[in-house]
Structure 1
Amino acid sequence: MSKRWQQIVKKKSKYLVTALAAALVGIPLVTKRSWSSRITRFFIPKYTTKPILEDPRLFAVLKRFLLAKGSIPFRTPRSRYIHYSLDIFKGNLELTIYPGLKLKRQGELSRADTAENEKTIGESVTATRNPAAPLLYIHGGGYVEQPTEYHYRFLWRLATALKRPVKLFVYPEVPDEVAVDVISKTSEWLEAQERSIVLGDSSGGGLIMSVMQVTQYEPLALVLISPWLDVSMTNPDIVLNESHDATLSRAGLLEIAKLYAGDLDLSDPLVSPINYPFKKLPKMAIYIGTNDMFLADVRKFAHLIKTVTPALHYVEAPYMEHVYPILPTIEGEAAVRDIIRYTKEIFYT
């Protein structure tokens, strides 16, 4: 390449770098959201259930599959850096994610003092029981989907930051069991645990509030992330956000809700806890994005319970998607740090 062309390329490169820097700084300022969330927003619809929920033909195929084959199979975490144990609780799975352990190679713990009572399940390695009460988590997925890798990474972050295990209850999914059975089994699982903080996202958050109607378990606090609180979705303001939500569609979720409710009416408080007259609730934190289709119901629920909980920590993140705290974005990371701060305050004050 001649010197003249080198000078042209060098000069153009400066303009290109300047334009790129301006875009990286300017576009997030104009759009009020980070680059990471914009990228995530672009890819989410392509790799989530929204296309299935939106398209009646695709959803009909999914519904036939579920009714013929039963629930979607459970998959264990695929990351070799997430260490866990799997146990059976009355026929259902309990997955415990352990904090802060690193593998020298597969199957070998890097800390000798954790070798006692270790247990290996498949390729996973777990350590001695942590004496601190574990966090308890109930996952989302519209009552039909199993926990995702996003859930596992999110729970690993919590376990490592709080230096305590996180127990994840993998409750029976639709269509294997309906709401009455799911709520009963989740309540039994909770009542078998130490008193701790209970977290849940989406349908898991709604399930927590359903269980709170029937259980004797008294959590230290509840953390709800984009909870699905009204499966009938009759709030007229829902449609205002449906086009902005990258993962949810009202029509498909209503069909799932009918399968989940079984013989119950969709407005029954057991499946739509927003309709239950709670008299007393523990401390609670709620996280929701303004692009979330459940925003209208979550706002209504927060207003209803503010007089029956000793403290409500409500976070509404502008332009964020459904269950944004578990997504790999700058805003999601900020929410994770806030959840860690909140749970630490509950545990240590």
Structure 2
Amino acid sequence: MWINATSIRRALARDDYLSTLSPDRRPVDPPARLRRSGRVVVTRPGGLPVVRYEPATRTPGVELMYLPGGGLVNPLVAEHWWIIERLARSTGAAITVVNYPLAPEHDAEETAAFVDAEYARLVRRAGSSRLLVAGDSAGGTVALGLASRAERRPDALVLFSPWLDLELGNPAIARRVRRDPSLRVPGLRAGAVAWARGRSLRDAALNPIRADLAGLPPTVIFQGGRDIFFDDAVSFAARAREAGSAVRLETAPDGFHVYVGAFWTPEARAAFALTGEIARNPSRILT
């Protein structure tokens, strides 16, 4: 992992990280194997691809919206499809993958408007079905914002290594960064500032750890110990439980950022298995 993530780590260590972004970056298309294992429909509201994947072995009555991470500035990559496929297998859900507007070309308000509109469409489609929202890294940031605004709350949130404090102000980060093979503060913070576009990173409408954590949907967080976001996840989960929300934190001591992407590992398999149980019965978050 340290070798594979070298280029990411070096880029994120730069204060001018945004200058390294290609203006032509775009989400990776669904792999051909997805069409062999189910039905794939791609729509392009506002020019951004929204992908619906209905596995052939779909469980009726379960819908899942997936919000991919990328530091609020990078689009979905091939490894995200690995996660999406495993979610489909474990939950049986029809999965709607929302590629939302990214900074620096777009800001938080545009992201929220786009995601809210796609969620409203999914709510109308889902009817009385169970409706889950999942996201990794910055996708977790966006998922929590959506859940705070939605008239119909998701039945559960599933967050893989979510970015919970856009300020990155936790002093524990300085200690944990030595063990994190990919994430670095300067580039992440530059992305957050661009996404906020003049708003404070302390704004509770943008920054999950600053938000009112009462009334969250049942939420499970999967977090690795070799991730600079780890300590914020511990703090977030504790504060949410104190506020009366059902939040479950599952940790993998040697897990790196979004460790579930390594789907062949025991830790990732356990995470997907638990997610499948939660899709069948969201109250499993409480046990």
Query: What TM-score comes out, normalization by structure 1 length?
Result: 0.72
Paired amino acid for 1:317: A
Structure 2 residue 138 is the aligned partner of structure 1 residue 199 = no
Distance 1:314 1:220 in 2: 17
Distance 1:93 1:308 in 2: 37
SS state at 2:50 partner: strand
Distance 1:309 1:165 in 2: 30
What do residues 268-299 of structure 1 show as CA deviations (whole Å, max 9, x unaligned)? 11221110123311211111001111011111
Give 4+ residue runs of structure 1 displaced > 4 Å after superposition.
Answer: none
TM superposition shift of 1:300: 0.9
SS state at 2:231 partner: helix
Report which stretch shifted further, 129-138 or 208-217: 129-138
TM superposition shift of 1:133: 3.3
TM superposition shift of 1:225: 1.0
Structure 2 residue 28 is the aligned partner of structure 1 residue 75 = yes
Paired amino acid for 2:41: S
Aligned sequence identity (%) = 25
Of 247, 250, 270, which residue of structure 2 is paired with 1:334?
270
CA-based RMSD: 2.4
Distance 1:210 1:348 in 2: 23
Structure 2 residue 98 is the aligned partner of structure 1 residue 140 = no
Distance 1:347 1:96 in 2: 26
Q: Are 2:135 and 2:162, in contact at CA under 8 Å, matched by a contact in 1? A: yes
Higher relative contact order structure (alpha carbons within 8 Å, sequence separation ≥ 6): 2
Rate the CA distance shift 1:56–1:311 in 2: closer, same or farther, 3 A. closer
Corresponding residue number in structure 2 for 1:54:
13
Corresponding residue number in structure 1 for 2:237:
302
Rate the CA distance shift 1:130–1:306 in 2: closer, same or farther, 3 A. closer
Paired amino acid for 1:137: Y
Q: Are 2:64 and 2:132, in contact at CA under 8 Å, matched by a contact in 1? A: yes
Of 161, 164, 181, which residue of structure 1 is paired with 2:93?
164
What are the within-5 Å matches in structure 2 for residues 186-265 of structure 1? Answer: 186-193=115-122, 194=126, 196-265=131-200
SS state at 2:62 partner: coil
What do residues 97-154 of structure 1 show as CA deviations (whole Å, max 9, x unaligned)? 22147xxxxxxxxxxxxxxxxxxxxxxxxxxx98533211111111111112221122
Of 110, 119, 122, which residue of structure 2 is paired with 1:181?
110
Structure 2 residue 216 is the aligned partner of structure 1 residue 285 = no
Query: What TM-score comes out, normalization by structure 2 length?
Result: 0.87
Distance 2:64 2:196 in 1: 28
Of 278, 281, 285, which residue of structure 2 is paired with 1:345?
281
Rate the CA distance shift 1:60–1:209 in 2: closer, same or farther, 3 A. closer
TM superposition shift of 1:315: 0.3
Structure of larger gyration radius: 1
Count how many residue pairs are aligned between Structure 1 and Structure 2: 275
Q: Are 2:215 and 2:244, in contact at CA under 8 Å, matched by a contact in 1? A: yes
Distance 1:96 1:60 in 2: 30
Unaligned runs of 5+ in 2: none
Unaligned runs of 5+ in 1: 1-40, 102-128
